[in-house]
Amino acid sequence: MRYVVPFSRTGIPGRRFVDPFALMQREMENMLESFSRALEKAPEGEEVFFTPVVEAKEDNKGLTIEVDLPGVNPDDVSVELSEGVLTIKAERKMEKESDKEDEGVKYHIAERAYGTFMRRFTLPWEADEDAIEASFDKGVLKIFIPRKVEEKKAKKIEIKA
pLDDT tens for each residue of 103-145: 777 778 777 777 888 888 888 888 999 999 999 999 999 999 9
pLDDT tens for each residue of 13-23: 555 666 788 88
Q: In the sheet where 115-122 sits, what is the strand order?
A: 77-82, 85-92, 115-122
pTM, 2 dp: 0.59
Backbone angles phi, psi at 93, to 5 degrees: -90, 145
Residue 4 resides in a domain: no
Whichever domain contains 59, its CATH number is 2.60.40.790
56 within 8 A of 68, measured Cβ to Cβ: no
Query: What's the domain count of the chain?
Result: 1
Q: Domain of 115?
A: 54-146
Q: Check residue 81 and give its pLDDT.
A: 93
Residue 101 resides in a domain: yes
Q: Check residue 94 and give its pLDDT.
A: 73
The average confidence (pLDDT) of the chain is 78
Expressed in percent and rounded to 5, the helix, strand and coil fractions of the chain are: 20, 30, 45
36, pLDDT greater than 80: no
Residue 48 resides in a domain: no
Residue 160 resides in a domain: no
